[in-house]
Structure 1
Amino acid sequence: MITKEDVEHIGWLARIDINEQETVEYMEKLNSVLEYFGQLDELPTEDVAPTYHVAEIHNVFREDVVEECLSQETVLANTEHKQDGTFRVPKIG
């Protein structure tokens, strides 16, 4: 069970101010969620195969094939911001 102190601690960790009324409301809501999880724990799941997705998902990526890449000149052709064969970017720091 979630206590008022737990909710206050969670609020402190999240750096949010929770007043007394909100503390009680959140405590009730979180305990309701935990009760629901308790109900789920009671279901017979021995014959249920583990799943990672609820919907059937197929790999939509293309085959990873090595192809000829663009030349350095082609890559830098459309920029004014180049220096020594690379993109020139603002200094960070």
Structure 2
Amino acid sequence: MAEPIPVESTREVVVAVPVYDAVHGLSRTWPQNYRLNFDVTPHGEVVIRGDKAGLRGLAVQLLALAEPDVPDRYHHRIDDFMLEVDRGSSPVRIEQAG
């Protein structure tokens, strides 16, 4: 893994993330009126495209999966069937690897 590049300045952001529940899992909270799309280029590059609300919503999902009480291998499948991303978006599975 490459050495991290020093950051000249940072911004602290406070975010509320869903709490894991053994019966119900993680709640899928998304902002209202957002845009989010996943695509794969012909060269295999994954493109995540979203407006600010959509990118923040995705960040909340990732942060929730990273919480210590979430079991290993817990995952979310994000696809247009559940209307969580724009129609025609490639489906994505985000998983806590443990």
Please state which band the TM-score falls in when normalised by the shorter chain.
under 0.3
- Structure with higher strand content: 2
- Return the structure number with greater relative CO, CA threshold 8 A, min gap 6: 2
Larger Cα Rg: Structure 1 or Structure 2? Answer: 1
- Structure with higher helix content: 1
